Structure 1
Amino acid sequence: MFKYNLTVFIKSLLMFSVFSSIIYAQETTDNQSIQSSQIYERIMFIEVRGSQRIESDTIKSYMTVKPGDLYDDAEVDRSLKILFNTGLFADVAIRYENSGLIVFVIENPIINRIDFEGNSALKDDKFEEEIELGPRSVYTRSKVQADVQRLIELYRRSGRFSAFIEPKVIRQPQNRIDLIFEITEGPTTGVSSINFLGNRNFRDRKLKSQLVTKESKWWRFFSSDDSYDPDKLAYDREQIRKFYLDEGYADFQVVSAVAELTKDGNNFVITFVLDEGQVYEFGESSIESSLENMDTDELLYLIEHRKGNQYKATDIDMTVDALTLAVGEEGYASAEVRPRVRRKREEGIVDIVYSIDEGPRVYIEKININENTRTRDEVIRRELRVSEGDAYNKVLIDRSETKIKSLGYFREVETSIRPGTEEDRMIVDFEVEEQPTGELSLGAGFSSAESLLLEIGISERNLLGRGQSVRLNISTSERRKQFEIGFTQPYFLGRRLTAGFDIFHIDNDYRRYSSYRSTQSGASIRAVWPMAEYASLSVFYRYLKEEISSYFFQSGYNLADDYNADKSEIGYSYVIDTRDDPIDTTRGWTFSVGQDIAGLLGESEYIRSNFGGRYYYEIARNWVLSAGANAGYIYNYGNKDLRINDRFFKGGNTFRGFDRAGVGPKEKLTDRPRGAELFAIGTLEVTVPLGLPDEFGLRTALFTDFGIIGKNDDEDRVLNTGRAQELVGDINSPFYNLSDLLSQNYSAINEACRNDSAGLNEIYGTLCTRFVDDATFRATVGVTLNWNSPFGPIRFDIGRAVVSEDYDDAKFFRFSGGTKF
């Protein structure tokens, strides 16, 4: 019993002790809380210390606590973080003291200037465009490190992966600093090799020719394509994919594209892993449409591929664009064309169904032109193929972007689409980056026809941002001197009409070819209308003063073509050009027809007609067959004689294998061309790949030129004026003491030459002219080599005449070249 009571007593005593401790602790906490509340009651004032250029009120405005607020640790901490995040301060501290908050700040310095040291590959202005910091901005370490990364990335994009940049700070009075970026550029990181794995049907060399990135070789000292760039690698990956899809490999995939840095850190090794798949042909093609009143049979001609053709992804893309445009012109601007591809792997066939459905009705709410600091808005907007309020049409928007790029005023053009104010509204933004449009050029060249050629030109393609162009060009060579001023106004009178004028002076010395010199001075006005997507009609009126001066030969020969007269011409030309590329053409065709009519106010009366066309077809990759023809005819409809300068002279570049003006009618005794009134020349040419890397810039072609050139209305007349003078004193001459001979008219002798009376040439030797005009068939064969050299384009023509007349002037080798700098 006693033990039990003792146990109860001990337990009760322990419980009392614990309870007393809890009560005491609670009272202590309450007392501390009361004491804390008494210490931190209200914030009576806020004082800022340490600020130099930033006003105290500005600093207080960032804080979430104000005088009169109850003190709250969370709000004070939030204010502290806000002040740090402004980027204005290197350090911030807040202390509660004497019923107020004391804010201690150390301001970040202001950047006085920024300088770059050690850079030579990239210029300062390139860096200034890239970094965010600038003079009079606030210095922070985080911003400096961010700019360092931007500059390093800039160097990497230029192929310098070992570039190192260290920022240095130089303290200046009044809390200012100079920021110096010390740059160690390092060598250009090249590409030692490009490897392909999985390519069973194409050699490495063929695939490498599709890439922008090239292997580093000694001859690429003028190129930057052999430096590694991750962006170029991504582009190359897409280029390989497009190549295979156009070669029939519809299942092709680039499994991986990896660039590995070599141990020495100077080069990269790039490896593409490919999965080629099998080759497909096009099978059945059809069009399905859910649009009302849409006859799909009428659209079948727009399909670019035919059954049995090798699969080519580009043909599908072109068909989609053509169908989208066609149904858009029918009023279904929001229609969507989707190709459904059905592969039959066992048969190697791809069937295509083009599905045309009504897309969601989305309209263009607004079109913005951004960043055009110089070019006026209306100059850009008139190139657009869509307007505000139109139904959204991707094809027309893409064409608008292409049209803006083709102006040549902008370095970059990017299109972006964003939602409008309503669900069925879109806003289209065209972001442009201006580029210089003025040009001062100096040119030099040499050719077997013109010898040394020098040229200076000044031009502006976007005068005052209005889209107008003006040019001044002066050129001189051994045989030609030219001065020309031109002005062009696009969209004349607010219409799709290009108008302009030219003032010119041209001096041609044809002593080597046809024994005369031509000088033309005058002016012309012109206008061009676009008739269709690929066609245009141009008209012109030209008025000039023309002077022809004949050269006398040492023997006394003179072809007597001298005249000084005014000429007035009006003409037109109609041109269609569907070529995919005007320089490196692989498909398409051209056609042109034009006429020049002389008369009206001048002393010449003729109609000169020209026709021409050419067709290009890629028979295999890099093998392009082209067939062309040109023809011309000049008709003298009046009583005035045709001048020698009005006729056609062919040869050189216009009939390869013959010298310039080396084929056609000729004065036989002097061996001087006289020009023709009719010509028709055809050409067949096939581009032959040389198997060399594309960066060599070499292209060659085999050709044959053939045709006829002839018809000349020249009549025999006095040729040797020195010999004619002897007839005056020869008592046996039928023209002894002839008055018109003494007056240098020679009309009687001219008539005798034409009639061959008295056998003048037999009696007096080479007195009369003898014109030959055999409008017979001629043909040549040869090879053309074009080299896009680092010094400018150079062309070599090697041709041999296989069918010709004995008085034609053959030319086995011709070359020309030049550059601008």
Structure 2
Amino acid sequence: MLNFLGRDAVAVAGQRTGLKTTATRLATIIFLAVAGVCAGTVQPAQAQAYNFSKVQIEGNQRIEAATILTYLGFGKGETVSAAQLNDAYQRLQGSGLFEQVNLVPRGNLLVVQLREYPTINRVSVEGNRRLKDDVFAPLLKSRPRQVYSPSRAELDAVTITKVYQSDGRLAATVDPVIIRRSNNRVDVVFEVTEGRSVEVERLSFTGNRAFSDRRLRRVLETKQAGILRQFIRADTYTPDRIEFDKQVLQDFYLSRGYVDFQTQAVSSEFTRERNAFFVTFQVREGQSFKFGDIITTSDLPDVDPDEFAAVSKLRSGVTYNPALVENTIARMERLALQKGLNFIRVEPRLVRNDRALTLDLELVLTRGPRIIVERIDIEGNATTLDRVVRNQFSTVEGDPFNPRAIRESAERIRALGFFANADVQAREGSAPDQVVVDVNLEEKPTGSFNFGGAYSLEQGFGLNIAFQERNFLGRGQSVSLSLVTGEDSAAFSFNFTEPNFLDRDLRFSLAAYYTESNTASEGYNTRLIGLRPSLNFPVSDNGRMSVRVFGDGAEMTYPEGYVPGTMSALLEREVDRGTQVGAGVGFGYSFDNRRTGLNPQAGIRFSLDTDFGGLGADYQYAKTEASLTGRTVILNDAVTLRGTIEGGALMSLNSASSRATDRFFLPPSQMRGFAVNGVGPRDLGTAAGTYPGDAVGGNFFAVARLEAEFPLGIPEEYGITGGVFVDVGSVWGLDDTAGTAAIDDSAKLRSVVGASIFWNTPIGPLRFNFTRALSKEDYDIENKFEFTISTTF
């Protein structure tokens, strides 16, 4: 029974399913048939079209109706589709002239409803405490009396943000806000939230074996945050500075022969407090290479390779340095120009010897493509005259194009110090064989005015007023005025320099000075005045000569209330000679290879000056001074060695005697460890002179200074290093010793040893010297502690 009923139920269900399927198929066929019939009878919908016989414009105040009709793009009576009307709306909205646009069709009338952007009444930056308004003013595109543009204001906000980021304030935010005023005007306010500077908490390196982290940190512009973090801005994290540091690091290693050096990565990680960065340079040093065999070759019939090889200063066994190769190539190409050989190029070819760690260099003299400089275009120099920039080019219009000469000219332009940015590029000119050199410049301030206090061991504390303009009237000239007053002295100086006199590499200088001294240590008063014009010109790659004429005057007087017989008899005779005014001529020579020498870690500087003066005075003389200074580094650049030898001689030309205003004294800047006028010939028989007697100076002097500077283990971000030094020297010799038996003018050496602390601070490199005299005379005056502004080599 159950099985039967089951079969019956299944049968009935199958019948119902079949009926349902048949009905569905029938309904589908009927629907498709009806749809086909309908498709044959329905017409397509037509797009809406307009025909305006009149256009009414509302809301325009500054914008002319004709300008608005131009943006609409159609005239009266033209048929306009809805799409064309939408395009007209987009053109009006995108013009940047209107804050709101509505197009309202009313039959044959089109109403254009507008609201113009307001006029900017004032632009201000608020909330900026670290940076002043004048930093942003020249950068902003939104300006008073211009039409306000939201997109322009947003770009200005981005500009202000970038300025803060370059200053190390990565969290700075800027919001542009408008304040509406009457007559459709607005004030544009950029609300700044500066945030804190993001510092470099730690600067480290990985992969460096030849040089320590400490040495490499000294190379970089970026510094670790130290105790002077409030003053030294180099410890703020700036991405652009990191990129510059990568190039500096590359140059450092290449100049020491590491041709395979790479900065593989620079990682910058936030500290846990997210207020500073840990910056790590990942480097691969490789090996240091030296020059191997160096040969000069050429296939050109009119070129003698031996003649060009003679001007090369490259030597086998010297550490490889690309700058040395560039300097040699430049010398060879200059020789080619001097011989009238145009388009000569020097192609360096290096052969690597990994086993010997040498690079064999072949300098191949070839004839390059015949390309001529069509013109030199200079832009961006609003103040600096074109000729100042052109003087830095050894190439002029019509000369053969030399890419290396153009690069050297670009470096000289940057070295002027007149421009924040100087971009020099060459592009194809009016023909394939001609090029145009584009010089794009961005000027920066070149003047300074200083007012403040001054201190020196020679003059004590005083007032210092100085003005300097390094690009006077945009002519590239330098003008400086200086007034320095001490406790008992005053000095005024004026200097003018024209670096390209007569449009040549000829430097014209004019110096004038006036000084007064009323010091008790000298026992007499002096007044000096002088005028010195001079010309300076090159005589070799590293040497320059100078010639000059001069006029000077010197007066020695007794101090107020002077009692006769209390001063040295020698000085009394010199005071009684009165004012002496004379003229003279002189020449000088200087040599400096600190940038072009064979060793990038060492260099020397030599100078020699001789004057023949006193013409018109009672004493004619020849005065010569010479100085030789050298520097090198040892122990992987950790220790710097410096040495200086100086000497001078004053000779009478008419058997007259010299005066104290002409003779040599050894001030603390030349002989450390002694006071001003504290060393040298002294009249011990002075009745009531300054203890232990009057210093009279000498006609000759010689001094040698040797010192070493080294790290003290203090973190280098503090800028503190140590040093030791030894000075040996003497001043001696007098023309007139009559009646002065108590004067010993023989050449007796003095020697001093000492220790130094160097401190690089925002106000300059300070130096503290602690000294002890090893050999001296009883009458010499020591100075066991000195505080000075350190000089650099």
Instruction: Normalising by structure 1, report the TM-score.
Output: 0.81
C-alpha contact (below 8 Å) 2:568/2:683 kept by paired residues:
no
Question: Which residue of structure 2 aligns with residue 171 of structure 1?
Answer: 180
Shift of 1:605: 1.9
Query: Are residues 1:229 and 2:246 paired?
Result: no
Q: Which residue of 2 aligns with 1:155?
A: 164
Q: Within 1, Cα distance between the matches of 2:381 and 2:463? A: 36
How far residue 362 of structure 1 moved from its aligned partner, in angstroms, is 2.8
Shift of 1:118: 1.1
CA distance in 1, matches of 2:323, 2:595: 16
Q: What is the SS of the residue equivalent to 1:645? A: coil
Residue type at the aligned position of 1:519: R
2:682 aligned residue: 666
Q: How many equivalent residue pairs?
A: 747
Contact 1:304-1:316 at 8 Å conserved across structures: no
Once the two structures are overlaid, the 10-residue window that deviates more, 333-342 or 177-186, is 333-342
Give the match for residue 772 of structure 1: 744
* Residues 204-247 of structure 1: per-residue CA shift (max 9 Å, x gap): 33333332222223332211122111111112222333333344
Aligned position for 1:484: 493
Listed as ranges, the matches of 1:446-525 within 5 Å are 446-492=455-501, 496-499=505-508, 501-509=510-518, 511-513=520-522, 515-525=523-533
What residue is the counterpart of 2:137 in the other structure? 128
Q: In the TM superposition, what whole-angstrom CA distance separates every residue of 1:541-564 from its partner, at most 9, and x where no partner exists?
A: 214252343795798454223231
Q: 2 CA distance for matches of 1:813 and 1:160?
A: 42
| Distance apart, 1:163 and its partner CA | 1.5
> Which residue is 2:586 aligned to?
572
Q: In 2, distance between residues paired with 1:14 and 1:570?
A: 122
Q: 1:412 aligns with which of 407, 421, 431?
A: 421
1:25-76 deviation line (CA, Å, top 9, x unaligned) = 3xx34xx66xx7xx84866554434433211101122344334555355554
How far does the alpha carbon of each residue in 1:391-411 deviate from its partner, in whole angstroms, 9 at most, with x for none? 223333333334334444333
SS in 2 for 1:397: helix
Corresponding residue number in structure 1 for 2:618: 603
Deviation at 1:319, TM superposition (A): 4.2
Letter in 1 for 2:684: K
1:723 equivalent in structure 2: none
| 2:630 corresponds to | 615
Does structure 1 residue 24 correspond to structure 2 residue 46? no
Structure 1 residue aligned with 2:737:
715
2:3 corresponds to which residue? none
Aligned ranges 1:699-738 → 2 under 5 Å: 700-707=722-729, 709-717=731-739
What amino acid is aligned across from residue 648 of structure 1 in structure 2?
A: F
Using a 3 Å threshold, how does the CA distance of structure 1 residues 171 and 586 change in structure 2: closer, same or farther? same
What is the CA deviation profile of residues 321-351 of structure 1, one whole-angstrom value per residue up to 9, with x for unaligned ones?
Answer: 5455554555566555444343333443333
* Deviation of 1:570 (Å): 1.2
The answer to whether the aligner puts 1:589 opposite 2:604 as a matched pair is yes
Question: 1:731-754 CA deviation, whole Å, 9 max, x = no partner?
Answer: xxxxxxxxxxxxxxxxxxxxxxxx
Cα deviation, 1:487-524, whole Å, max 9, x if unaligned, reads 445544555544454544312245424x3322224544
Residue 362 to residue 443, structure 1, CA distance change in 2 (3 Å):
farther
Residues 386-395 or 291-300, more deviating: 291-300
Mapping for residues 9-408 of structure 1, pairs under 5 Å:
21=38, 23-25=40-42, 28-29=43-44, 40=49, 44-67=53-76, 69-71=78-80, 75-94=84-103, 98-99=107-108, 102-289=111-298, 291-300=300-309, 306-327=315-336, 329-331=338-340, 334-408=343-417
| CA distance in 2 between partners of 1:66 and 1:636 (Å) | 101
Q: Return the letter of the residue paired with 1:578.
A: D
Q: Secondary structure at the match of 2:615?
A: coil
Equivalent residues of 2:594, 2:604 under 8 A apart: no
In the aligned structure 2, how far is the partner of 1:524 from the partner of 1:209?
Answer: 40
Post-superposition Cα deviations, 1:1-32, rounded to whole Å, max 9, x if no partner, equal xxxxxxxxxxxx9999888645533xx34xx6
Residues of 2 paired with 1:98 and 1:569: CA distance? 100
Question: For the structure 1 residues 468 and 480, does the alpha-carbon distance in structure 2 shift closer, same or farther, using more than 3 Å as the test?
Answer: same
For 2:299 and 2:59, how far apart are their aligned partners in 1?
74
Report Cα offsets for 1:274-308 as digits up to 9, x if no partner. 33334434333334445553333344466565433
CA contact (8 A) 1:444 1:818 kept: no
Q: What amino acid does structure 2 have at the position aligned with 1:427?
A: V
Cα-Cα RMSD: 3.6
Q: Is the 8 A contact 1:209 1:693 kept in 2?
A: no
Q: CA deviation at 1:664?
A: 3.6
8 Å CA contact 2:215–2:638 kept in 1: the answer is no
Aligned-partner SS, 1:209: helix
Q: Name the amino acid aligned to 1:428.
A: V
Write out aligned runs for 1:777-792 (5 A): 777-792=749-764
1:150 is paired with a residue of what secondary structure? Answer: helix
- 2:170 partner letter: F
Distance in 1 of aligned mates of 2:218 and 2:727 = 31
Letter in 2 for 1:542: G
SS at match of 2:228: helix
The answer for the alignment partner of 1:633 in structure 2 is 649
**Contact 2:625–2:647 (CA under 8 A) maintained in structure 1:** yes
Q: CA deviation at 1:691?
A: 4.8
Specify the SS of the correspondent of 1:218.
coil
Q: Say if 2:590 and 2:608, in contact at 8 Å, map to a contact too.
A: no
Distance change in 2, residues 1:74/1:325 (3 Å): farther
Q: Is the 8 A contact 1:443 1:818 kept in 2?
A: no
Contact 1:459 1:469 in 2 (8 A): yes
Change (3 A) 1:347 1:478: same
Q: Is the 8 A contact 1:110 1:175 kept in 2?
A: yes
How far did 1:636 drift?
1.8
Tell me if structure 2 keeps the 8 A contact 1:253–1:276: yes
CA 1:239–1:420 in 2, change beyond 3 Å: closer, same or farther?
same
SS at match of 2:123: strand
How far apart are 1:119 and its partner, in Å? 1.1
Report % sequence identity: 30
Partner of 2:4: none
Q: How does 1:753-764 map to 2 (within 5 A)?
A: none
Cα distance in structure 2, aligned partners of 1:464 and 1:306 = 46
SS at match of 1:771: coil
Q: Say which SS state the counterpart of residue 244 (structure 1) adopts.
A: helix
Q: Which consecutive residues of structure 2, in runs of 5 or more, have no partner in the other structure?
A: 1-29, 687-692
CA contact (8 A) 1:569 1:596 kept: no
Aligned-partner SS, 2:161: helix
Distance 1:309 1:544, change over 3 A: closer
**Distance in 1 of aligned mates of 2:565 and 2:616:** 39
CA deviation profile, 1:774-814 (whole Å, cap 9, x unmatched): 23455444445443333444333444444555554454443
The alpha-carbon distance between structure 1 residues 230 and 304, as it changes in their structure 2 partners (threshold 3 A), is farther
Name the counterpart of 2:701.
Answer: 679
Instruction: Report how far residue 121 of structure 1 moved.
Output: 1.1
1:796 matched to 2:747: no
Check the 8 A contact 1:213/1:225 in 2, yes or no. yes
CA distance in 2, matches of 1:144, 1:808: 72
- Return the alpha-carbon distance in structure 2 between the equivalents of residues 135 and 179 of structure 1: 9
